[in-house]
Every structure is written in structure tokens, then in C-alpha cells.
Amino acid sequence: MMVKGALAFYTANLPSWAAPQTPAETVPPFMRTEGEWEVVPQPKGVGLVIAPWNAPALLTVLPLMGMLAAGNLCVLKPSESAPTVSRLLARLVPHYFPDRSVVVAEGGRETVEDLISTPVDHVLFTGGGEIGKKILALAARHLTPVSLELGGKNPCFVDEAPTDQLELYAAEIVGTKSYFGGQFCQAQDYCLVSEAVFDEFVRILESKIEALGQRRSCQMINPGHARRVRALLAGQEAIARPALPKDEVEEDRVPVTVLLAPSVESPVMQEEIFGPLLPVLKVSNIDEAVAFVRQRPKPLVAYCFSPRPDAWAAFRDATSSGNLAVNCGPQRMQSNMNAGFGGAGESGYGYSIWGKAAFDDYSDHKTVFKGTKFAGSAWGAAPPPPPPQPSS
């Protein structure tokens, strides 16, 4: 549905995006000469899309649409951790792009290094920050521009609210954790809960998790990732809610679990979890929540679940994040193709997903002045400015 919607959106809007824009003149009238200004979008050349494993088809195709809309050729590098999708793309793309305007390059680290060293003209990487740093280092050898979609530890502030509202907040958080197994760059990474409703909200979270039944056990992308997430639970068993299952968990599964007030120095509060764990910490008020978020790297999305406009304003004005979701979940946050979606600071930069923001990211913008008469410079062919007029 997202791809179909994006296709219609691009088709309707691309002519206006690609048309030259006329910037307003800013020089004083006595310096102006006859002519007109244009800013003309141009293709960068060859784009490289390095896709992640958690949405391997969608996060290949959506950036591809932006690359093509901007007039670029494109190389797709699917994730080697999603081999079925990678093989499917490698089979389908030559069929639909026989002119090789789009090609697929399968492989791992060495393939990425070779592609960036070719070089290409723009790189999009979606994934984790540590690999993002390596991508940047490779691209820097050729001064290749890069867009990064990285994620991070997305905070979720839960304010004092009626019980029915707290139920909605909990259903959204637990549903997102269980549906994706937490393997989603927009998933809430931890919660900051107002002390006035802390105990009640924890009870609601626990009941929502218990209601999952067998669905509490979430499949990870592979056993290695499951081991990484389970390692974050080490030493945290006493604060796990509901209690961790006594039965042996399959090697590629992790249960949805709340962690009550873990140490902020613990690995689960230092690393992006990217799994179904949810640290929950108590805060006295909105100011403490804002201060907590400000002391940490900028996230991709900050969530503010509150009935109070002053809380919304505090998160908007006093925190920094790529995106701010007030009283909504990630589906609504990513539903407007007119709004660019990207990170800030350590959660990335650039707008890779869709819309004019992606078109602009994947374009060069050439400034043109077309003089109907020759316009020289003050140190060259321009006539001297008129002398100042005496004051009356």
C-alpha cells in the first residue's frame, strides 16, 4: 500500500518538483541588471541504496523511487541477512529494468566496499550507527554524499492521564514491540513515565504482555541477533515484568519484557535495543523527562504521550530528534508523503524515504543567472556605482 501510494504521489507531483524554481532577488536596486534567476534540480548520477534486513523489500523500493524520480541510475544492495528477498530482487529487477538503469549487487561487506569505491554519486545507508560510521569513512575517500537512516534509542514520555488513555498508550507500545519484535527503527526504546501514574501504567503494560500469550515470544532475524538482545537481559531478571519464562526459549526468540528502572549505565540503557525489551523509568514531571532526553544522543523519533499541550510544546521546543510523535504511533508518524522523514545527530541525516525531501536529497541544485545584457563585476566590467546624493 505504501509503495502504491508513493507511486501515485510521485506521478502527480514530479513535474512541479523537477521544474526550475525562481528565487527572489536580494541585491539592492542600484546593483541589479536585466536578467532572471533559476534553481534547476539535476540528477546526481548513480545512486547506491544499501538496504537493511528488517524491511528488506520496502526499504529498498521506496528509496529507489526517490532515486529514479530525481533522474538517477541506481544500484541496489539488499541485505545479505535477508537472502530470500535479495534473490527475489536480483531476479525481478533485470526483468523490469532491462536497460540496466537499475541493477542489483548481492553480497556483504566486500561488495559494499567495492561499490562505494567505484565510486558512485550518492549513498543511502539504512541500518546501525557503527556500520554507518564505516560507510561514511568509505564514502569520504571520494567525497561522496551520504544519507543515513540509523535509528537510535527512541524515548517515550508517558504523562499523567486517565486510565482509558493509559490503556491506549500501553496497547500501542506493546503492540509495536510484539508485532515487529522491536526490530524497527521507530519502535519505542524506553519509557519515561510520570510518577503519578507509574505503578498503574506498569500494571497495564504487564497485563498487555500477558494477554499476548504465545505471541509474547518474538522471533528475531537470526540466532545471533537473539543472543545480542538476550545478553541485554543478563543480570536484569529481578526487574523483569512479567517474569521471564522458565521454559527454555528457542535460540532465535526473545520474550516481550518490561524492565523496571534499570541502571542508566547498564547496556540496555546504553545501546539501541532493537528487540522486544522495554526499560521503564519513573520521572517526577515533564521537565525531568526533557532533561533526561537532552542528556543523550538525538533519537530518530521521540514520543510524547500526554493530554497536555504544555508537554507537547516542551518536547517540541526543548528536545532534539529527527521526528517528534505527539499522541501517535509510528504508522501515523510516517503517513504524510509531504513531510520528510530523517534523523538528527547520531540517528542520521538526509531524507531517504519519500516525497520532495527525498527528491531534493538525491538531486544537485544548480543556480543559474541568465543576463539579457552583460552584467560585469565591480572589479571588472561593471560601471562604478552612482555617487551618494547630498542630504537635503
Known catalytic residues are 149
- What is the secondary structure of 44-75 as a DSSP string? -SEEEEE--SSSTTHHHHHHHHHHHHTT-EEE
Among 103, 127, 120, smallest CA distance to 47 is for 120
- Check residue 21 and report its DSSP letter: B
Within 8 A by CB and 6+ apart from 157, the residues are 191, 192, 193, 283, 286, 289, 293, 302, 303, 304, 305, 306, 311, 315
351/318 Cα distance (integer angstroms): 23
SS (H, E, C) 208-255: HHHCCHHHHEEECCCHHHHHHHHHCCCCCHHHEECCCCCCCCCCCEEE
